[in-house]
Amino acid sequence: MTIDLHADPITLTAALVDIPSVSQGEAAITDRVERALREQTTGFEVLRHGNVVLARTNRGLPTRVILAGHLDTVPIADNVPGHFAVGPAGERVLYGCGSVDMKSGNAVFLHLAATVAEPMHDLTLIFYDCEEIAAEFNGLGHIERDHPSWLAGDLAVLGEPSGGWIEAGCQGTLRVRLSTSGVRAHSARAWLGDNAIHRLAPILQRLADYRAREVDIDGCVYREGLSGVRVSGGVAGNVVPDLAEIDVNFRFAPDRTVDQAVDHVREVFAGLDISFEVFDFAPGALPGLTAPAAKDLVASVHRHGGGGVRAKFGWTDVSRFAARGIPAVNFGPGDPNLAHKRDEHVPVHQITDVTAILRNYLTGAAR
């Protein structure tokens, strides 16, 4: 099956949805994207690296914009192939796995690559695999390692679902494991032991009492959160346990580094008799909206009726670009709250709207 990049991006989205591409099963969709970019665009250098497709122009323009999106989806839930229907609000929508996260965003980027004849920026397109699973498999991470020159640019736009809003930057994430120890005993003689589960009580109290910080950066308000996300303990129904654990997730505003986030969590639980292990983290990304290329995108959104600008609370791959000093935003069709759901669906007007906004931005019409 050939995908037509010159087709309406709504039709192109439907074609992409109908190509199953669960994480680590992206070969078929990657083949079609690569072939389409080679055959249906002009002026692009195209590179295939595993199940990542990269394409870039080299027109010698003063700025370069990166359009990046992941090709993989979560496991299919009886929602491929997709279908059109009338949505809950009476609008026309496209249902299907990946319709929100993020084949509609990819369709917009592919369509623009084929139809924007005279962009005012050089363009780099990156379509990558394995975003939905462990970071070690992430195709964008492999490009960072093997082809870092392809990640150079003045602004990166990730097609993550944002409902047509610019969701700037992202929050960082940190997970720590707090462990308590006690003395094992028969529960009939509980006084001979020291219950490790009971020792979790002060940890839980501090989590309940925690008040999240709100931070305004470039007009985007990030709200932090500290949450217990997993509790483990117990040996048998008649044993006082000698070990209990609780995993705590800290979502932190991008004005903190990972080290500062770790220090903050240590402070929250200071003075408790616990062990403290950091086992997962990823830095946040500052919004970078003061960069000239980002300002022009914001102007295009405002001029052409987009949703505006707000903070991104979750973590996305914009963090990888921010770590390289490149301003990065999330901007795509679809409600992120519908991502990964069985009834995942995108209002088709959002695909059209995002396409129009980005076309005006890339051609300079927003000015």
Distance, CA of 260 to CA of 8 (rounded, Å): 47
Among 12-26, 186-200, 281-295, 328-342, the least confident range = 281-295
Look up 26 and say whether it is catalytic.
no
Predicted confidence at residue 218, as pLDDT, reads 86
**Dihedral of the alpha carbons of 99, 100, 104, 109, in degrees to the nearest 10:** -150
Mean pLDDT rounded to a whole number for the chain: 95
Could you give the 3-state DSSP secondary structure of residue 101?
Answer: helix
pLDDT (average), residues 271-285: 95
Q: Can you tell me the mean pLDDT for 26-50?
A: 97
Tell whether pTM > 0.85.
Answer: yes
Residue 367 is predicted with a pLDDT of: 60
pLDDT of 291: 87
What percent of the chain stands above pLDDT 90?
A: 88
Q: Where in the chain is the domain with CATH 3.30.70.360?
A: 172-282
Find the catalytic residue in 72, 101, 160, 296: 72
pLDDT at 366 over 70: no
What is the total residue count of the chain? 367
Q: Is 247 a catalytic residue?
A: no
Cα separations (Å) of 13 from 9, 187, 206, 233, 365?
6, 60, 46, 46, 25
User: How far apart are alpha carbons 131 and 141 in whole angstroms?
Assistant: 9
Amino acid 109 reads F
Lookup result for tokens 């990065």: 328
Catalytic residue among 122, 131, 296, 344: 131
pLDDT digits (tens, 9 = 90+) for 93-148: 999 999 999 999 999 999 999 999 999 999 999 999 999 998 889 999 999 999 99
Q: Tens digit of pLDDT for each residue in 162-205?
A: 999 999 999 999 999 999 999 999 999 999 999 999 999 999 99
Does residue 226 or residue 294 have the better pLDDT?
226
Query: What CATH number labels 9-170+285-363?
Result: 3.40.630.10
Please write the tens of the pLDDT for every residue from 146-164: 999 999 999 999 999 999 9
Beta strands in the chain (DSSP E): 45-49, 52-56, 64-70, 83-86, 92-95, 122-128, 155-158, 166-168, 172-181, 185-186, 214-217, 220-223, 225-233, 239-240, 243-252, 275-282, 309-311, 328-330, 345-347
**Cα 295 from Cα 237, distance rounded (Å):** 61
- What is the share, in percent, of the chain residues with pLDDT greater than 70? 99
Which CATH number is associated with domain 172-282?
3.30.70.360
Rounded to a whole number of angstroms, the distance between the first and last alpha carbons of the chain is: 39
The one-letter amino acid code at 245 reads E
| Domain span(s) for CATH 3.40.630.10 in the chain | 9-170+285-363
Measured on CA atoms in the order 183, 185, 188, 192, is the torsion positive or negative? negative
Question: Do residues 180 and 243 lie in contact, with contact meaning Cβ atoms separated by under 8 Å?
Answer: yes
The mean pLDDT of 1-17, rounded to a whole number, is 95
